[in-house]
Structure 1
């Protein structure tokens, strides 16, 4: 009896194997008919996403571009025949993984340059340039993308008619300083320093741009801001008066109302036990 059951089991297994082979051949036949037995050809395709501005040479060398096979009928007529066609070019736009590389996806670096206007991402903003010397421009250390506070100066009227002290009380009869600094705006984005502009995502610095940045390491004094039109009006007015002073802020700096300081009379902060240092009596405890 057990021998008979074994034979039945082996027969069932054999039938299953034959059925699987028949099914595999049937499915493969359907695929062949669906593709009309299409010939598959080699193309160059993106093996990984390629960012705008990436040089073709870089994409080829790091494996972002490689060969792939597709049905001949789906091969674009403008598909590149060799990576030599893109080696000295850069990606004109972001290329998704799997895309066949065709002519026009990579262009000469000069043709891929972003217009300065395109760097204004907010359609309601404008670019405005001011001129400051190295002392008023944070020693020439400002870079595109940095954010600064803009200080302006106001002369003190000895009669107290133009300036109101931040704390109650009358203005002192004499002053150590003859003007006060007030915040025009805080955390203002720098769009460009000289000819060195804030790059868009994926944009690569050209050799010319790199050389220009090195030549401008001392800061040309021309700072271009990205601001709403109303802010540009006040900045232009302050620039006309020649009283702009910039201070660089930390990345996580939080703007907050800062009232004008009271004119300094007979006592300086370093002489006041409640102040002593810019950070308070205890000093900088960071």
Structure 2
């Protein structure tokens, strides 16, 4: 084989390898571009983040997910969630959402857990009032008030508040404990009107907390007093005026004239002189 033939064969092999390499790079670039267009960054929990915990950089990581599969309020960068407070317990792998995080604007982390139109009020409890120590942050409770009625020392009890969220027990706002713990105070989240009812009930008698099932968010319907039925007045009966007296003149012998006076059903006869 001549040198010229070997040169042409070698040149053809180089051109073929170059064309194959360029085609492979072009296909890879197109596939990567197509894949990147359909994916987005989503911040997920790298560890379990308990209720009331401040999110730190080591608690989260960024993963790639197909577009449209993540919630609208998901975050695309970890620096957007660091420093926020978890208002719900999040497990490892959960997507961090804006609805489950609150801004920490200073002070205690508990203040960041309170909704904008709510207040935090603490109630002194013991092992009975505190449901045997089974109350934990994030639970829902009802409040029952008991007070004496009348002078016979009889007591009456009724539910004054329903479906209140437990923000903290003693000075703990996290839910990393699962065993019952007897505490001295429970902090509840409620509106200003509910806080007034609770404080008034504390001064009038004793309070008792009732633990609710987290799936039960129904409240008792408020009793609506129905107005008393008004009896319809009977239709007025028109009074019938008695018929006017009709004098009937009858002439009789002598100097007098007999007159008969009729008043309704009464008939009277008399004489008049002419």
Interval containing the TM-score (normalised by the shorter chain): 0.3 to 0.5
Considering fraction of residues, name the structure with more strand: 2
With normalisation by structure 1, the TM-score equals 0.43
Of the two, which has the highest radius of gyration?
A: 2
**TM-score, structure 2 as length reference:** 0.45
Bigger relative contact order (CA 8 A; separation at least 6): 1
Comparing both structures, which one devotes a greater share of its residues to helix? 1
